[in-house]
Chain A
Amino acid sequence: MSQKIPAFYYIKNNKRRVAVLVTSLAMFFVITYTSMFLLSVSSETFRSVLIETSSYIQYITFGGEDLEFDNTDTKTSPEDIYMEAVYKKYNEIKSGLKKCSGIKDAFIVQTEYSYITSLIGNYYTEIPMLNKEQMEEVLKHMGATLSEGRLPDKAGEVVLDRKIMKNYGHKTGDVLSQNKNVKITGVIDCDYYFGCGLADGNKTFLNPMLCVLSDGTVKDLESTIKKQGISLKHSRFIDVKEGEKKLQTEIISTISSSTNIIFVGILIIVGILVVIVSISYMRDRRSEWCLYASTGYSRKTIYFSILRELLFTFITAFIIASAITITLMKVSDIMLITGLGLRCIYFMPGPFIQILCSYIALFGIMQIPVRFEINKIKTIDAIDDDM
C-alpha cells in the first residue's frame, strides 16, 4: 500500500495563506451568487407579473381593423362608436370564446394599472374594473381572499394584493398612484400580483379590454381562439406567450448582460489572486517536495497530496461561501425583498452551475503551476550537485 503524505500539515501550519485562497474563492461565490440573486428579484417578480398572472387572466385590446364601425352615425361621439364596436365584437365572439378549451369566461372591462417596482426596473399589471358579479367571479377565479378592509362597493374602488400594497407602500384608504380617482378599500391575499375594482356604470370608458379568465392551460390566446374560428389579427393579446417574450427581451436580456459583467469581473480578480497565491505556495514548497521525493515518496504521491490540499481548500471555500450566501439571501429576503412585496428564488441552477464550472476551471488552472513544479522536483543529492 502506498504511503500518503498527510495533506493537512500545510493547511494546519499555513492558516493565513490558505485563508487568503479560501477567502478569495468564497468571496467569488458569495459576490457572484448574491449579485445574481439580487438581480433575479426583478426577473422573478416580473415573471410572476407577466407569466403567472397571465396564465389565469388574459386581456385582448381590439385593434381598429378587427372592429366594425358604424360610419353613418354622425350624432354619436367617436368614443361611443368605438365602445359600440367593441361590444358588437364581444357579442359576436362571446359564445365561441366560451367554447375554447381552457377558457372559463370573458367580459369587457375597463382597466386601471399598478406599477410594480423591483430592485431594477418596473413593470405594470392590469387592474380590471368590473361589475360586482364579475368582481366576485374574478376574485374567486384568482384564489384571492380579502384580508384587510372591505371589498369595493362603489365605482372607482379597488382591492389590491398585499404584494402590490407593500411594493408601493399603500395603505387601505389610499388612492392608486396611477389614478388618484381610484381608492383602495382593502387588501387581498393572492398568489399573484393582482387587484380588481368596481367600474362605473357608464358604458363608455377609456382602455376597454376583453378580459379572459382561463384555467392556466392557455398559453397562446390568439391560437386558442382561432381554433373556434375567431380571428383577431390586428388585436393585441396580453397572455403567457406575450409575457414570455417581454420577459426575455425586456427583463432577462438586460439583466443577463449585467450578470455577465459582474461574473467575468469577479472571475478575473479571483483568477489573479489565485495565481498570486499559487505562485507563492509553489515557491515555498519546492524544497519540501524535494525532501519527500528523497525519502521515498513518488511524484504521483506528492501530486496527490497537493490535489488533496487543493480539494480541501476548494471544498472549504464552497461550504463557507454557501453558508454566507444563504445567510445573505435570507437576510435580504426578510429585510428587503419581502418588505417590498417582491419575489425571489434562492436556488438558481444556472448561476450555481456557472460558479461550479468556474471552480473546476480555477482548480484546473492551478494544476498548471503544480504540474510544472512537480516536474521540477529533484532528490536532495541533485540539489547538492547544483550547489
Chain B
Amino acid sequence: MFNVENITMIYDIEKENKMYALKGFDLKLPDTGLIGFIGPSGSGKSTLMYCLSTLKKPTDGKILYNGQDIINIKNSERENLRRKEFGFVFQRHFLIPYMPAIDNVLVAADENTAKTKERAKGILKELGLGEREVSKRPAKLSGGQRQRVAIARAMINNPAVVFADEPTAALDHENAFAVMKVLKEYSKKHLVLVITHDISILKDASGIIEMWDGMAGKMKGGENN
C-alpha cells in the first residue's frame, strides 16, 4: 500500500544546526494488517506518520500510496485522500468539547444519514461505550472513553488506512487490549498503523517497526527493505 523511498525530514532547514526527524530510509507497508511503530520519544515515529498521512511534506524522498506519489499532489487531492482513504487517531484526542460523543464521530463522516448514525453507534458500542456515554460530551467522559470516541471517529468512513498515534496511552490495560482488539479486527481488511511506547499492546500486530534517531529498523513479521 505504502512504498516509502529514501524519506528525509529536516526541521529548521534554514538553521545551521539542522534537525533530522527522518534520516533517509525505505519502507514498504502492506495493504492490510496492524503495523506497530515503536521507539523512544523523538525517534521520528509521529513525523513518519504525519508524512504518510500527507499532513507533513518530507524534505526529500518519495512516498507512493497505491503506486501514486502523494508528496507532489494538489492540495485538493491531499485533502481528498485524508477524507476518503485515511482515518486519524491523534495523540491528544482532539474531540470537539461541545459535541456529544456521537456527534464527535459523525463530524468526520462522509455523509450524515441515519445509516451513518447507526454505524457510529455500532462502532462506539464495539469500543465499549454504552448508550448513555454516546450522548455525553467529552468533559463527561473518562480519558479512555474519549480516546475510544476518537478511534470511532477515525473508523467512521471505513478508511483504507487508520493512523493511530498512541491510541491506548490514556487507557488501562483492559481497555487498551479491548481497543487493540477492535483495531486488529479492522486491520483484517485495512491497514492500521499504530505508534506506541507500549510493546505489550502489539502482541497481535502483523508487523512491528522499531524506530530510533529518525531511522526505521526492519519490520518484524512484514515486508521491509
Contact = CB atoms under 8 A, between A and B. Distances in A.
Contact of B110 (A3, A294, A385): A3
A244 B17 CA distance: 82
A9 B90 contact: no
A10 B84 CA distance: 24
A5 interface: yes
Given A381-B50, A381-B55, A296 B83 contact: yes
A287 B96 CA distance: 8
B91 interface: yes
Interface string B63-92: 000000000000110111111101010110
B201 interface: no
B107 interface: yes
Contacts of B46: 381, 384
Contacts of B86: 296
Nearest to A288: B96
A273 interface: no
A296 B82 contact: yes
B82 A294 contact: yes
Contacts of A202: none
A379 B91 CA distance: 13
Contacts of B75: 298
Give the most central of A284, A292, A381, A385: most B CB within 10 Å: A381
B9 to A, nearest CB: 11
B107 A5 contact: yes
A6 B97 CA distance: 16
B56 interface: yes
Residue picked from B56, B76, B79, most chain A C-beta under 10 Å: B79
B200 interface: no
Interface residues of A, number: 23
A71 to B, nearest CB: 93
Given A3-B83, A381-B56, A384-B46, A295 B108 contact: yes
B107 A294 contact: no
Interface residues of B, number: 30
A307 interface: no
A380 B81 contact: no
A90 interface: no
Interface string A1-31: 0010110011001100000000000000000
A95 B108 CA distance: 89
Nearest to B51: A381
Contact of B90 (A288, A297, A380): A380
B203 to A, nearest CB: 28
A384 B82 CA distance: 18
Interface in A259-311: 284, 287-288, 290-292, 294-298
Nearest to B98: A13
B91 A384 contact: yes
Contacts of B76: 298
B170 interface: no
Contacts of A295: 82-83, 88, 108
Q: Which of A14, A288, A291, A294 has the most chain B CB within a 10 Å cutoff?
A: A291
A339 B100 CA distance: 54
A14 B90 CA distance: 25
A296 B56 contact: no
A385 B51 CA distance: 13
Contacts of A298: 75-76, 79
Nearest to B150: A291
Nearest to A287: B94
A297 B79 contact: yes
List 7 tightest A-B contacts by C-beta distance, closest first: A296-B82, A296-B83, A381-B50, A13-B98, A381-B55, A296-B79, A291-B94
Given A9-B96, A13-B98, A13-B100, 19 more contacts: A5-B107, A6-B107, A10-B98, A13-B99, A13-B103, A290-B94, A294-B94, A295-B82, A295-B108, A296-B80, A296-B82, A296-B83, A296-B86, A298-B75, A381-B46, A381-B50, A381-B55, A381-B56, A384-B46
